[in-house]
Chains A and B, each alone.
Chain A
Amino acid sequence: MASLGELERAVMDLLWAGHEAATANTLRDLLAQSTRAENGTAGHVGKDLAVTTVLTVLSRLERKGLVERERGTRPHRYQAVSSREDHTAELMHEVLGSAPDREAVLARFIGSVTDTEAETLRKLLGLS
């Protein structure tokens, strides 16, 4: 049985790839398919997966603000709140951004450099 973390990742990958809302049943079938396609390789994500498990995963993702439910349809259809690229941009914004406490949240290998400084460094390297 895959861990919830692996399942969350697999579900998000499907939602990001699919671009449209899907029900828990559809997602379960897709997960089972992708497992069969891998056929015996490590990390069987969708093996013997119950729909309730998929629903658990979806509600965890919903709580984290990553997926949303379409209102008014039954069974509920789920979709990603924003694209994979948007989330990556959100992360990079935090990494490179100017929030004053950013330095306390994470430590970058190189802080910001000014254009002139970058120029000096490039000359140093014999680049450009």
Chain B
Amino acid sequence: MFWTSWFLAVLAIALAWPVPILLSRAQWPARSPFTAMLLWQAIALAGGLSMIGAMLVYGLEPIGDNLLAGLKSLAGMVFNNAPTTELGFWHIFALSAAALLTAHLVFTLLLTFYKIQRQRRRHRELLALLASPSADGPRTMVINVDSPVAYCLPGGARSVTVLSDGLMAALEPAELRAVLNHENAHLDQRHHLLLWAFAAWRQALPWLPTTRLAQEAVSSLIEMLADDVALKTASKATLIKAIAIVASGSPGAPDARMAFGGPELSDVEPGQPGALGGAGSARTTASRVSRLLSPQPPLPEPVRAAVLVACLLLLAVPTALLIVPGLLG
């Protein structure tokens, strides 16, 4: 029990700090974004699991030989008023911390979900009144805005991709199709679920380096994944041109601020570093374009397989350490 808790604590610290920093600096995720995405998910899940697990195992050490036995005696103390004298101050502290952290994570996940759903519903209501259906399909709407904007609003069967008039005017049909395929890839691959989970993870533990790095990496990786889908039907040149036109016309650029027109939009303060999702998404656009301009081969098969095995181990080892001794004992 004692060594288990130390091992889990070391794992939790490694996954909270050095590992995500190394991974966020690595170059290979741009070559195999899907593999990198799996690794980030494994890091986040294993990090949470080992963090809670380490505290739980440490706290239960005096009252059980393994996690399951410990939990059973703990339940006896909580529900049947069995004596708690075996538990020292630090054990109770660790157990309370584990319980609080678990509750905090679950609560933040649910709260973030509720907030996102509410914002999306409001957005959809307004779109229904303001945007008109496009000729490109039932899931596409056009909104009367001069600057080139494209985004998708997930929502199951009611998911829509929204294009602005400015975008339709600025892009050739082939470029427009590339943008649409890119956005539909987000919807088809359910990227919003990843963004939700990692946004909640960051919201819950904002001071932990891993949560910010993971969220930034994930938002950048989903763009690369969607670009790869768009590249199946569009040429690289088409996609690059579409990205460049939208980016240079979007409100980061001075002239686009004018194109936006109207005092109504003056409260949108674009172009400030730090605002607008900040440096993270700026880096995303840069790395997307450089990835398209000078493509690197994907990681070799054995390396990808090794990363997948590492993902599995990350999840399997803490789980096994927590559960297996109880099942054997």
The listed residue (B115, B130, B192, B284) touching A111 by CB distance below 8 A is: B284
Contact A107 B222 (CB under 8 A): yes
Query: Which residues of the other chain, A, contact B116 by a CB distance below 8 angstroms?
Result: 101, 104-105
In chain B, positions 121-166 with a C-beta closer than 8 Å to chain A are: 123, 125-130, 143-145, 149-154, 162
Chain A min CB distance to B165 (Å) = 11
CB-CB under 8 A for A107 and B248, given A91-B126, A113-B253 = no
Q: Is B273 an interface residue (CB 8 A)?
A: yes
Closest chain A residue, CB of each to CB of B274: A98
Q: How large is the interface on B (under 10, 10 to 19, 20 to 34, 35 or more residues)?
A: 35 or more
Contact A117 B151 (CB under 8 A): no
Contact A94 B123 (CB under 8 A): yes
Contact A91 B179 (CB under 8 A): no
Chain B min CB distance to A16 (Å) = 9
Number of interface residues of A (CB under 8 A): 45
Query: Which residues of the other chain, B, contact A108 by a CB distance below 8 angstroms?
Result: 149-151
Q: Is A5 an interface residue (CB 8 A)?
A: yes
Overall SS of chain A's interface: helix
Query: Which residues of the other chain, A, contact B143 by a CB distance below 8 angstroms?
Result: 88, 91
Provide the bound-state CA to CA distance between A91 and B153, in Å: 12
Contact A118 B125 (CB under 8 A): no
Q: Is B271 an interface residue (CB 8 A)?
A: yes
The listed residue (B127, B162, B265) touching A89 by CB distance below 8 A is: B265
Q: Which of A19-27, A28-36, A79-87 contacts B (4 or more CB under 8 A)?
A: A79-87
Contact B254 A107 (CB under 8 A): no
Contact B219 A103 (CB under 8 A): yes
CB-CB under 8 A for A104 and B192, given A88-B144, A110-B247 = yes
Q: Which of B70-78, B79-87, B275-283, B300-308 contacts A (4 or more CB under 8 A)?
A: B275-283
Contact A107 B264 (CB under 8 A): no
Q: What are the interface flags for B203-223 relative to A under an 8 Å C-beta threshold, 1 for contact and 0 otherwise?
A: 100000000000000010011
Given contacts A106-B123, A115-B252, A121-B247, 13 further A-B contacts (CB under 8 A): A9-B129, A12-B129, A89-B268, A91-B130, A96-B250, A102-B277, A104-B116, A104-B192, A107-B192, A107-B222, A109-B183, A111-B281, A115-B254
A-B contact pairs, 21 of them (CB 8 A): A88-B144, A90-B126, A91-B123, A92-B265, A103-B281, A106-B153, A107-B186, A108-B151, A109-B149, A109-B243, A110-B150, A110-B246, A111-B280, A111-B282, A111-B285, A112-B252, A113-B248, A114-B273, A117-B247, A117-B286, A125-B245
Residues of A within 8 A of B (CB): 5, 8-9, 12, 64, 66, 84-98, 100-115, 117-119, 121-122, 124-125, 127
